[in-house]
Amino acid sequence: MKIAVIITFLLAGSLMFFSSCKTTQKALTQEEVQALPKVLEYSRTGCRGKCPAFDFTVYQDGWAVFNGKRYTKHEGEATTQLSKEEFAQLQANCQKANLWDLQPAYGMNVMDIPTTTIHFYEKDRDKKVAWRMRAPKGLPTLSNEICQILYNRGWLETVKKEKEMSMPVGAIHNEIIVQFNEKVNTDKWCAQYERFGLTKKKALSTLTPLYLFQFDTGKMSPDRMLEMIKRDKKVTSAEFNKRMETRSR
């Protein structure tokens, strides 16, 4: 009887041990993570404003280290492990971006725009690409997915809605009329504000460089967007677009 009880106890202990082995994963230290083979390095530099500057490195099996330098919600280093789904999707997006066919740099002559760099490792080869403004479609897509991972972990600050501001009567919050002091390529000009969703809506004059632009107020508050555009060296004036007043007869 005693032997049966002992065997039952040992069997239960063994089951608990193997079960715990299946569900518990060993957490690695930052030093252990950084000793693993690299899969991806992603970084952004700062600007004259409050652009977040950070490095994010992904290693084998989805282990990753984030290093917040300036204007990030988390400053300093932090370690995490991506889920299998996140890691698989990240690798798939790296493949879709066709990094091997891209140039090493895009738009690097543009001033005061953060430099984004992606360095991808695959077996015995690697590819590094940096850009400041307009870049092949796959790069912004990959960049957005990486930043979403960082937002989800609370390492980057999401854009918060500003308190209600005093807007001109009839102002359209997401539309700005801009007059340039010279003829410009509006597509290239918009590209430097791409992260705020700025796009040209239409030209307002055939005689002067006057255009109507729209942007995403979820990415930048109206007052800050207007102030940013006013500071642009190519801009003579900028103001919110306004709704036409209708008068009753």
If you write DSSP's letter for every residue of 191-212 in order, what string do you get? HTTGGGT-EEEEE--SSS-EEE
- Quick one: 89 and 194 in the same domain? no
User: The tokens of 91 are what?
Assistant: 């690798």
Full domain range(s) for residue 232: 171-242
Q: Are residues 38 and 121 in the same domain?
A: yes
In this predicted model, what pLDDT tens digit does every residue of 46-103 receive, in sequence order?
877 778 999 999 999 999 999 999 889 898 999 999 999 999 999 998 988 889 999 9
Residue 23 lies in a domain: no
Sheet with 199-203: strands ordered across: 199-203, 210-214, 171-180, 235-242
Parts of the chain with a pLDDT under 50: 5-7, 9-11, 14-24, 159-164, 249
pLDDT of residue 247: 53
Eight-state DSSP code of residue 233 = T
Do 112 and 187 share a structural domain?
no
pLDDT of residue 167: 67
Q: Is residue 65 part of a domain?
A: yes
Q: What is the pLDDT of residue 211?
A: 97
Say if 2 falls within a structural domain.
no
- Is there a domain that residue 15 lies in? no
Supply the pTM of this predicted model.
Answer: 0.56
Domain co-membership, 178 together with 79: no
- In this prediction, residue 195 carries a pLDDT of 82
DSSP H stretches of helix in the chain:
2-23, 30-34, 84-96, 138-152, 186-191, 222-230
CA 217 to chain CA centroid, nearest Å: 16
Residue 46: per-residue pLDDT = 85
Please tell me the predicted confidence (pLDDT) of residue 21.
43
Single out the residue in 104, 123, 152 at which a domain terminates: 152
Q: Partners of 56 in the beta sheet?
A: 42, 66
Q: Please state, for a pLDDT cut of 70, what percent of the chain lies above it.
A: 83
Residue 42 shares a structural domain with residue 98: yes
